[in-house]
Structure 1
């Protein structure tokens, strides 16, 4: 399940507790999205995921003319180097049509404004929350690494593998957790390259909540090598457990790590990532500092109840 899907379901499940009656309708493709939107009553309040909206921009524009339509924009497609012209145009149209746009981070809001896609007055920021979680560890080894996210070019697993290849003499292992279905060619290449590490890299596929929690419990460090990232749900989960993070300095990640407990490197730079990982593995003082900071940061994290309340207020004032 993607971070965006987790966010959507948390909002769906939380809004009734804020006094909202929620009628959930899921769409699997463009035709389904257009059909659902076409059946929306006039003057209804519609909250739609930005990815689904992008499948059917004509239907979004038509619905927004007769109903109050709010968009959950988890990402900025135009910021992705491999985004198609069609996807960028669809994003522009649905953002322009929406009465208000809810985003997960300050970076996303600023990026939309910088690109002229949404004026600031229509944007609401609702950072993803976390659930209370047990503190991770003690780790089974300081070289036990975890990377969580769909296996995709923008998540940068290729950068991580290239970095690990520069550390053949270090004692490390790495689990790559996430679906390979959305980008099958890229995922196949990651699987092929992972095979060269003689079992030190494992691709687990998608894990349920229990299995994923066990992964967080057993590792020493989360690695987030993304090229583009609005906020990073995996980072939030690591933070909830007091788990240090090495991540790319991109998108909303610096804000997510502003309270400490992480190292930031240039995105798409295997040498810089290898240097950071090597420092983590070889410098006990650095590890101790990052762990102290990560543990202290747990008390600063937003809860899902706050996220839901923020969105409920946005709906009330839309």
Structure 2
């Protein structure tokens, strides 16, 4: 009999930070004394059809009654009150970042997601978030009592220090192509740096938001940067490790991040970082390891990149600060311990 049923929408093997976080919890929670069963929900969330909502209701209702339901926020925040009100289980929400803050939503979608997530979070016994920034947003904007929130920052695996390139101008960005990732802003910024010696590899799915991926490819061509910017798509572990090793600088132009797991990976490899202040990204990367700019500001991003690309001594100082910061980051066992404690507390409170 499981202690916890972890409900996750879609394909668990999807290569995003959120799914990576979920996979590590499934792997490590048993070492912290919890038997965990994975429950797959339909993959259409957060914009699930009526049929998928009905199927989710059935799957959640047929879980063992004594098990805590841990539900990934991609689905939890979009489950309507009609679904949740009759799910008689102890529910814990895992919120990577609020759904309504996803870039590219129209006003109606934002309002609907804000309403459904606020109502859903009110029903959760506990809420687990991946950063203090997200915790503050849920407390101030969603009415979640701070004492009900547990912050379990993503762990970071130890990794070899990147060797870099001969030129010193090899840049890497990692993350599925979507409007929130801000890659279009990055291309605009790089168009102003033609006089410098640089290259960029963007690693991440081109299928999650195909219209955005097409716009990005068009922008690269229109700016005449096809020889310098490569949209690599998803890479297997060996190819991704090689991309990390060949990089001199990590770039994260995201408009918003609930944490920014790739920033932790960049620090584990001792890479200097240029990122935005969107969401939790500013807090994830320390100031001595990263130059930070306002999200969506292409001229500011261009200026930061010019500064780092043009100053080898600065890159070395930032790289050392990044390496030291990477050594201080939490490990995945730390993350699993915090989550396990929150789940046990929710179960104990329900029993009382």
Query: Whole-Å Cα distance in 2 between the matches of residues 133 and 61 of structure 1?
Result: 45
Q: Is the 8 A contact 1:101 1:122 kept in 2?
A: yes
Partners of 2:175 and 2:205 within 8 A in 1: yes
The whole-number CA distance in structure 2 between the counterparts of 1:43 and 1:49 is: 19
Q: State the match for 2:160 in structure 1.
A: 134
How big is the shift at 1:156?
0.3
CA distances 1:195-231 after superposition (whole Å, capped 9, x unpaired): 3313211111111222211111001111000111111
- Which residue does 1:260 correspond to in 2? 288
CA deviations over 1:278-305 (Å, ceiling 9, x no partner):
0011112211210121122122111001
TM-score by length of 1: 0.95
Contact kept in structure 1, 2:70 and 2:94, CA below 8 Å: yes
* Rounded Cα–Cα distance in structure 2 between residues aligned with 1:298 and 1:135: 10
Aligned to 2:25: 11
- Report what 1:102 is aligned to: 128
Q: Output one character per residue of 1:53-73: Cα deviation in whole Å (capped at 9) or x when no partner.
A: 23432323332xx21100110
Given the alignment of the two structures, is residue 295 of structure 1 paired with residue 323 of structure 2, yes or no?
Answer: yes
Choose the corresponding residue for 2:145, options 119, 122, 126: 119
Aligned residue pair count? 316
Give the 4+ runs in structure 1 shifted more than 6 A. none
Give me the CA root mean square deviation: 1.5
Gaps of 5+ in 1: none
Of the candidates 82, 87, 95, which is equivalent to residue 73 of structure 1? Answer: 95
Unaligned stretches of 5+ residues in structure 2: 1-14, 347-352
Secondary structure of residue in 1 paired with 2:155: coil
Q: Which residue of 2 aligns with 1:87?
A: 113
Tell whether the 8 Å contact from 1:55 to 1:90 is kept in structure 2 after alignment. Answer: yes
Secondary structure of the residue aligned to 1:258 is: coil
Aligned residue runs from structure 1 range 23-38, under 5 A: 23-29=37-43, 30=48, 31=52, 32-38=55-61
CA contact under 8 A between 2:274 and 2:291: conserved in structure 1?
yes
How many angstroms does 1:243 deviate by? Answer: 1.2
Provide, for residues 158-191 of structure 1, a one-character-per-residue CA deviation record: whole Å limited to 9, x for no partner. Answer: 1100000011111111011111222221111001
